[in-house]
Homo-oligomer: A and B are copies of this chain.
Amino acid sequence: MSQSKAKTRDRLLEAAIAAFSTEGIVGATTREIARGAGVNEVTLFRHFQSKEQLLAAVAEHITALKAEALIHTDEWSQDLQSNLLVYAHLHDNMLEEYEALIRMFIGEAKRHPHESLQVLQEYFLPLRNHLIAYLRTCVERGTVHAEVDLPLAVDQFTGMLLAGMLRRHVVPVERGYSRDRYVEACVDLFVRGISPSAALTSSTSPA
């Protein structure tokens, strides 16, 4: 019995994620969420006392899935450029998969700061730390120069990917390059930026 209860709870959470993503938090109705889960609206309120608590449970439910994202990231087997390309595509696919949810929480960030931070921070945090740890080994190995601020650089890198996804969905005009080409270009730009090649040009001492 408690298994079927957990089942309907999960279906309610999934339906809530879908409704919140596409309709927004205020725009999504408990009636529609219940219908999407195939249950009565009253059942929704028996599981979650209010719409706010449902939202909190949704945020918890999403962050609980974060461990899965790490499964395929233990292969830093190739050179820096190839490894980063693999990571970039993985990251970009995650962004694409949850694009509606991400955009929704970006818009709702000031109205629901806790849930926004919980989802958008905790979900990508392990991936981010994994990438930073890898780049640190590259610094020791000499394939990344030591002056690089790794957390900042990683934010730049993932920021380019995030902005690319947002552009695709918010300003869907023909931009003259494909999605894959953009991802590859981000890797190229990033690698050139962190490689120990030429002299460092700092903006505080312009050439």
Contact yes or no, B164 A155, CB < 8 A: yes
CA–CA, A181 and B204, complex, Å = 10
Q: Which residues of B contact A172 (CB under 8 A)?
A: 113, 117
B162-A166 in contact (CB<8A): yes
**In the complex, A115 Cα to B123 Cα: how many Å?**
30
Question: Which residues on the B side are within 8 Å of A167 (C-beta)?
Answer: 155, 159
CB-CB < 8 A to A185: which residues of B?
149, 152-153, 156
CB-nearest residue of chain B to A166:
B106
Residues 156-207 (chain A) with a chain B CB within 8 angstroms: 156, 158-160, 162-164, 166-167, 169-173, 175-177, 181-182, 184-193, 195, 197-198, 201-204, 206-207
Q: Within 8 Å CB of A166, what residues of B?
A: 106, 162
Across the A-B interface, the 3 shortest Cβ-Cβ residue pairs: A107-B107, A159-B163, A189-B193
Selected A-B contacts with CB under 8 Å, 25 pairs:
A23-B111, A24-B107, A24-B108, A26-B26, A78-B206, A107-B107, A109-B169, A116-B170, A117-B171, A120-B170, A121-B173, A149-B185, A152-B175, A152-B176, A152-B182, A155-B182, A156-B182, A159-B162, A159-B163, A159-B167, A160-B160, A188-B201, A188-B203, A192-B193, A192-B201
